[in-house]
Amino acid sequence: MGRGMVFSFGAALVAGACGHDFEPPDRAERVREAEAQYSVTMFDSVSWSADSVRDFQGNTVYAEKCRRCHGTMGRGDTEYARERRLEMPSLVEPDWPLAALDTLRHVVYVGHEEGMPVFGKAGITPREIDAVSFYLVHTLRPDVLGAAGGAPDERE
């Protein structure tokens, strides 16, 4: 019975779109705005008493804001992705070109129009973005890749 509902909802969406009275939020526009606002200097004021604190905070942010979509181990094989047929990228590929703190802070801030939230505009702070990026590079990736036998040597 759920299916019937989905189909009729789809038909309503199409009808609405024709009348221009049903505009989905323009994600591409939000991404462009965030890109224009982004600056590496946003993170200048972020400092930590210890990397363990930063890592702990990053783990918390990951659990609250990322895990639902990207999965506990960052592999992207989540219920969320399956249900929506989203191409959820793995964050733990061995040769991931994004595996650097600066790059990740940028990607997380700006988001992406294909389903990655625009976190710079979604109320998470540069401090939280810094922490989660640090956690991905220094803990999650080495943990997962180490288990698969390929830990990068950036691990402290």
Q: Residue numbers of the site for ligand HEC (CB under 6 A)? A: 61, 65-66, 68-70, 86, 88-89, 91, 98, 104, 107-108, 112, 114-117, 119, 132
Nearer to ligand HEC, 51 or 64 (CB): 64
Nearer to ligand HEC, 16 or 29 (CB): 29
Nearer to ligand HEC, 78 or 151 (CB): 78
Closest CA to 121 of 131, 132, 111, 135: 111
Cα–Cα distances in angstroms (integers) from residue 72 to residues 42, 121, 142, in the given order: 28, 24, 14
- 92 in Cβ contact with 75 (< 8 Å): yes
- 141 in Cβ contact with 74 (< 8 Å): yes
CB of 60 to ligand HEC, least distance (A): 11
CB of 73 to ligand HEC, least distance (A): 13
